[in-house]
């Protein structure tokens, strides 16, 4: 059974296996297909048109399914590997062990944002940025640029307290839990973390940085935490909503999975702490 | 430069079209400006054409057809050194691009400038939808 652990508690061996599996997916070309898929949805999900992966109620089940698929790909390389999560309310500086050379490597250099240490540095020649929006083929970061701060636990708790899953108009202007977690409104959780990391994480091709998966694994855990706090609240909308994935509608690109299928994460994995 | 001149003309018209009701506008020009994904309220942004940190940034209403896939700027197009920057307008009227996707700014010009700073001299690559 897959148990997703806090990245801060991984052993040296678990980190090494995770990194090696990422490098193998990259080498085989499978990794970049995930980047391509994500960017296609980033560019096509709009507030007033069809929206599936982002700025809509299905942001959470879509990314849950996306991460499950990615985790299964990792496990096809090394069956012992599970996706870790990054609790950025706790590990909130560039000095966190997350950014050490034995794991994801650190921030980028001032001149061009290039990450210079760890397995994902361009110089190691195993992490070329192929699916890109500009000419640069090296991983970039600018951790905490401009004095930006990651969300605090109190800010997370204020969002987890929201009882209603999502509200009309079911987009980036909505009130409710989903849009506050996604970050288009209010204290801003998910979006702000992308901006804090900088580099490719601030762009539509954000999965080029492996931290994408650890960030979204924590966002996914926060959804599970919210469900545990609000057992009587359900995914919304239930049915009949134009341009939006209702509870029983299938989601692109898989077309065989619905938000209803994704509500119970324990069918697929558990967390190292009770949700 | 007639292309740019036309863009500017359209920009003025589209701006007027999006402003508060009651403004008289030139109907034929307005009809040229696709606005399918634009928010319901708020003025359309002004066109611009300037050199910012050594890069030519331009913005204005997009012409129908001919652009790359996945255009969701409400009919508004932004280029950097002639290459299209994928932009999108949020429901509250703010803007994001594929370069600065998670941090909305107020206007397309601010968005183009933010992209120039982020690019640090690198060229945009042509847009694709994978």
- Cβ B70–A184 below 8 Å, yes or no? no
pLDDT score recorded for residue B75: 85
Mean pLDDT of B103-130: 90
pLDDT score recorded for residue B44: 79
Which whole-number Å values give the CA distances from A213 to A64, A75, A104, A231, in the listed order?
A: 11, 14, 12, 26
Residue of A nearest to B92 (CA): A173
pLDDT score recorded for residue B74: 67
Model confidence over A216-242: pLDDT tens digits? 999 999 999 999 999 999 999 999 999
Residue B15 has pLDDT above 80, yes or no: no
Mean pLDDT of B60-81: 71
Which whole-number Å values give the CA distances from A165 to A39, A88, A131, A156, B92, in the listed order?
A: 25, 22, 33, 15, 20
How close B55 gets to chain A, by Cα (Å)? 14
Residue of B nearest to A45 (CA): B72
Q: CA A180 to CA B27: how far, in whole Å?
A: 40
Residue B65 has pLDDT above 60, yes or no: no
Q: Give the Cα-Cα-Cα angle A6, A9, A11 (nearest 5 degrees).
A: 125
Q: CA A16 to CA A13: how far, in whole Å?
A: 5
Contact criterion met (CB below 8 Å) for A71 and A82 = yes
Mean pLDDT of A5-29: 98
Residue A222's CB: how many other CB atoms inside 10 A?
21
Model confidence over A95-120: pLDDT tens digits? 999 999 999 999 999 999 999 999 99
Model confidence over A39-78: pLDDT tens digits? 999 999 999 999 999 999 999 999 999 999 999 999 999 9
Residue B64 has pLDDT above 60, yes or no: no
Residue B130 has pLDDT above 60, yes or no: no
pLDDT band at B127 (very low <50, low <70, confident <90, very high): low
Query: What phi-psi label fits residue B35: left (phi over 0), alpha (psi between -120 and 50 degrees) or beta?
Result: alpha
Query: Which of A29, A34, A45, A48 to mutate: most B Cβ within 10 Å?
Result: A48
Percent of chain B whose predicted confidence (pLDDT) is above 70: 55
pLDDT band at A148 (very low <50, low <70, confident <90, very high): very high
- Cβ A46–B88 below 8 Å, yes or no? yes
Backbone angles phi, psi at A17, to 5 degrees: -65, -40
Predicted TM-score (pTM) of this structure: 0.88
Q: Do β-strands B83-85 and B76-80 pair in parallel, antiparallel, or remain unpaired?
A: antiparallel
pLDDT score recorded for residue A32: 98
Backbone angles phi, psi at B88, to 5 degrees: -150, 140
Mean pLDDT of A255-267: 98
pLDDT score recorded for residue A13: 98
B90 shares contact with chain A (CB less than 8 Å): yes
Residue of A nearest to B68 (CA): A43
Q: CA A227 to CA A137: how far, in whole Å?
A: 40
pLDDT band at B42 (very low <50, low <70, confident <90, very high): low
- Cβ A135–B39 below 8 Å, yes or no? no
């Amino acid at each position: 059974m897959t148990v997703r652990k806090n990245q801060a508690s991984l052993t040296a061996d678990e980190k090494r296996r995770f990194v090696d599996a990422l490098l193998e997916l990259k080498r085989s070309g499978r990794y970049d297909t995930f980047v391509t898929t994500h960017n296609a949805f980033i560019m096509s999900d709009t507030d007033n048109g069809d929206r599936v992966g982002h700025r809509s109620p299905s942001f959470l089940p879509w990314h849950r399914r996306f991460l499950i698929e990615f985790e299964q790909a990792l496990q096809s390389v090394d069956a012992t590997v599970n996706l870790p999560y990054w609790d950025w309310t706790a590990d909130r500086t560039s000095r966190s062990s997350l950014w050490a050379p034995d794991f994801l490597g650190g921030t980028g250099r001032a001149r061009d944002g290039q990450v210079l240490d760890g397995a994902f540095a361009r110089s190691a020649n195993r992490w070329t940025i192929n699916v890109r929006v500009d000419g640069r083929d090296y991983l970039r970061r600018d951790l905490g640029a401009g004095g930006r701060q990651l969300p605090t636990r109190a800010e997370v708790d204020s969002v987890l307290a929201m009882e209603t899953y999502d509200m009309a108009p079911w987009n980036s202007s909505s009130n409710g839990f989903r849009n506050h977690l996604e970050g288009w409104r209010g204290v801003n959780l998910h979006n702000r973390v992308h901006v804090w990391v900088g580099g490719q994480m601030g762009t539509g091709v954000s999965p080029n940085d492996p931290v994408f998966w650890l960030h979204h694994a924590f966002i996914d855990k926060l959804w599970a935490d919210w469900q545990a706090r609000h057992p009587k609240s359900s995914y919304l909308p239930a049915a009949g909503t134009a341009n939006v994935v209702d509870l029983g509608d299938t989601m692109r690109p898989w077309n065989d999975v619905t938000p209803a299928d994704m509500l119970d994460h324990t069918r697929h994995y558990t967390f190292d702490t009770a949700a | 430069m007639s292309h740019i001149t036309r863009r500017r003309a359209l920009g003025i018209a589209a701006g007027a079209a999006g402003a508060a009701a009651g403004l008289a506008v030139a109907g034929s020009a307005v009809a040229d400006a696709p606005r399918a994904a634009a928010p319901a309220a708020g003025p359309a942004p002004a066109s611009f054409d300037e050199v910012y940190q050594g890069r030519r940034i331009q913005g204005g209403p997009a012409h129908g057809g001919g652009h790359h896939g996945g255009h969701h700027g409400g009919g508004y197009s932004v280029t950097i050194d002639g290459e299209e920057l994928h932009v999108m307008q949020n429901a509250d009227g703010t803007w994001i691009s594929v370069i600065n996707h998670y941090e909305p700014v107020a206007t397309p010009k601010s968005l183009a400038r933010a992209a120039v700073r982020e690019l640090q001299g690198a060229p945009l690559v042509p847009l694709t939808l994978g």
